[in-house]
Amino acid sequence: MAEFYEMPSVSPTMEFGTLVQWKIAEGQAFESGAVMAEVGTDKANMDAEIFDSGVLLKHLVQEGAEIPPGYPIAIWGQSREEDISGLLAEFEKRKSAPKAAAAAEPAAPAAELEPDEPTEVQSAKPATPSAPASLGTIERQWMGKKLTRNFMDPPGDIQAASVTARPKASPLARKIAADRGIDLHRLTGSGPGGRIVQADVEKAPAGGAPAASARADASVRNSPMRKTIAKRLLQSHQDIPVFFLTATFDMQGFVDLRDQLKKQLPDVKVSYNDILIKAVAKSLTEHPWVNAQWSADAILQKGSVDIGVAVALPAGLITPVVRNADQKSLAQIGTEVRDLAGRAKDGKLAVEEYTNGTFTISNLGMMDIEHFTAIINPPESAILAVGSIDQVPVVTNGQLGMGWRMKVTMSCDHRVIDGAVGAAFLQTLRKYVESPVLLLV
C-alpha cells in the first residue's frame, strides 16, 4: 500500500531542511537503507535514508525547497501500478491548509490607513524570488494588508507583492513637485509622520531621482545554517553572564618548535593552531572547572577533553570537534583538523563530528586580527579567541629587542567560571605555550 515519505530530522537542531538533490528517481525501485535524498541542514548536507524496500512513485517537492521535518516529500509503495490519487488529494489539502487559514483572516480595519492615502496591492512575479519557502506561510505587512504565500509553492514561482501607494505630502509640496516633474515616491519626507513638505521637494533634483549608486542592493537568502547561528548565538548573548580575560603570551617557543618540526619532520604537517589545541587540551585536564557545563541543578565537569575548532564557511560558521585532544599527538591533531575542516567545507560532516564539544578555539590570527572577543557556544562554558602572532618590540632584562607575541581572550560563563578560576587556567595555558616542549612528553 502506498504511503508518504516524510522529511526526516537528520540534525538535532534542524528546523527546516533544504532538499538539495533527489537520489531516487520516480519509478525507481530501492532497497532498505537506500538514500532517498540529500538534505541540507543548518550545519551540513546529510543523507536521508528509507528503511523499507519498494518503489518511489512520486516526488512531492522540488529540489531547492525548504521543508520542515515530518512533512511529506514523496510517495512510495510496492508496485508502480499502485493508486496514489487518495494520497495526492490528501497532500493537496495539507498543502493548501495554510492558504485557506490566511484567506479566512479578517481584513485590516480601514482606520489603519489615512483616508486620503488609497492603497493598491497588485500581484507580481519578480525575476528573482524575494522570499524563501518556509513552514505554513510567509507573511508581510504592506500598509495594513497581510500578504501570504504557502511554503510548498515552487521556489521559482514565489508570489511577491508590489505596492503603489500615494505618498504622504502636503498640498503645496504636491503642487511644486508636479510643476517640476518630481516623483514624490522617490523622496523621503522630513515632516510629521514622514510627510513630504515643501523643503523636501525644493531640495530634490528634477524628476526626484536620487544620485546613481555604484551597486544595486542585493537580498541574500538566509540559509538554515545562518538561521541557526543567529538563534543560538543570540540565545548565548542574552542568557549567559559573560566576562572576558585577556593575556599576552611570549610565542618564541611556539615559533622555534614549529621550525624544528618542519626541518626534522618535513612530512608532518603541524600548524601553530594545532600546537595551541594541544596546549589548551593539556591545560583543561588541570582545570576541570573550565571543562564544564552549567545546568540548573548541577555543574557537569566533563570527563573527556573535546576541542571545537571554529571553521569559517561561505554560509556561516561550524565547529568540528577534536575528541580526546589531550591524548593525541601534535601530528594526530594536525591530520584530524585538516580532515575535519576539509569535510566541513564540503558539507560532509556527520552530526557527532560538530556537536558536544567541551571547549572551543576561534582563531583569526591568520587573517591578521590582533585581538577580538568571541561568543560562547552553549552548552560550553568558555571559548578562546586567538589573535595573530606578531613580532613586536619587547623589553627583556632591561634591554629593548624584538620578540614574538600573541594575545588571547577567553570568554567565560560566570555561572561556572569565576575570575580567579579563569585566570588560573590562562596561567597554565601560558606555561604550555611559552614552554611547548612540555607538550611532547
**Which residue ranges make up each domain of the chain?**
3-83, 171-207, 224-440
Cell of 344: 566541513
Res 275: pLDDT:
96
Q: Which of 52, 239, 339, 418 is catalytic?
A: 418
Res 252: pLDDT:
95
One-letter amino acid at 321 equals V
Query: Please, how many CA atoms are within 13 Å of residue 39, restricted to the half-sphere of its CB?
Result: 27
Topology of the domain covering 224-440: Chloramphenicol Acetyltransferase (3.30.559)
Contacts of 55 (CB under 8 A, 6+ apart): 27, 28, 29, 30, 76, 77, 78, 79, 80
Q: How far is CA 98 from CA 89, 104, 139, 146, in A?
A: 16, 10, 11, 14
Q: Determine the 3-state secondary structure of 291 from DSSP.
A: coil
Beta carbons within 10 angstroms of residue 250's beta carbon? 16
Return the DSSP state at 389. Answer: E
Q: Which of 333, 336, 389 is nearest to 364 (CA)?
A: 389
Q: Where are the alpha helices (DSSP H) in 270-329?
A: 272-286
Rounded CA-CA distance 438/54 in Å is 59
Q: Where are the alpha helices (DSSP H) in 104-247?
A: 171-180, 198-203, 224-239
Rounded CA-CA distance 30/76 in Å is 10
Q: Would you call 346 a catalytic residue per the annotation?
A: no
Res 166: pLDDT:
72
Query: Please, how many CA atoms are within 13 Å of residue 369, restricted to the half-sphere of its CB?
Result: 15
Q: Report the Cα–Cα distance between both ends of the chain, in Å, rounded.
A: 64
Q: Which of 295, 97, 113 is nearest to 193 (CA)?
A: 113
- The reply to whether 3-83 and 171-207 are identical in fold is no
Contacts of 201 (CB under 8 A, 6+ apart): 169, 173, 176, 177, 180, 182, 184, 187
Nearest-5° angle of CA 284, CA 286, CA 290?
A: 45
User: 132-137: which pairs have CB atoms within 8 A and are 24 or more residues apart?
Assistant: 132/66, 132/221, 132/222, 133/65, 133/66, 133/67, 133/158, 134/16, 134/66, 135/16, 135/68, 136/98, 137/98, 137/99, 137/101, 137/102
Written as tens digits, the pLDDT of the chain (441 aa) is: 889 998 888 777 677 888 888 999 999 999 988 999 988 876 677 888 888 889 999 999 888 888 888 889 999 998 888 888 888 888 888 877 655 554 555 444 433 333 334 333 333 333 433 333 333 443 333 333 343 434 444 443 333 333 445 778 887 888 888 888 888 888 888 887 788 888 888 888 765 555 455 577 888 878 777 888 888 888 898 999 999 999 999 999 999 999 999 999 888 899 999 999 999 999 999 999 999 999 989 999 999 999 999 998 887 889 999 999 999 999 999 999 999 999 998 888 888 899 999 999 999 999 999 999 999 999 999 999 999 999 999 998 899 999 999 999 999 999 999 999 999 999 999 999 999 999 987
Question: What's 137-178 look like in SS3?
Answer: EEEEEECCEEEEEECCCCHHHCCEEEEEECCCECHHHHHHHH
Q: Determine the 3-state secondary structure of 121 from DSSP.
A: strand
Rounded CA-CA distance 380/399 in Å is 42
Rounded CA-CA distance 222/229 in Å is 11
User: Phi, psi (5° rounding) for residue 295?
Assistant: -145, 165
Q: Which of 59, 250, 390, 414 is catalytic?
A: 414
> What's the residue count for the chain?
441
Rounded CA-CA distance 96/125 in Å is 20
Q: How far is CA 400 from CA 249, 286, 336, 370, 407, in A?
A: 17, 35, 40, 22, 20
Rounded CA-CA distance 116/247 in Å is 63
CA torsion angle 207 211 212 214 (round to 10) = -170
Res 276: pLDDT:
97
Residue 255 · residue 404 · CB < 8 Å: yes
Q: Would you call 200 a catalytic residue per the annotation?
A: no
Q: What CATH class does 171-207 carry? A: few secondary structures
Overall pTM > 0.75: no
Task: Match domain 3-83 to its CATH number in 3.20.20.10, 1.10.3210.10, 2.40.170.20, 2.40.50.100.
Answer: 2.40.50.100
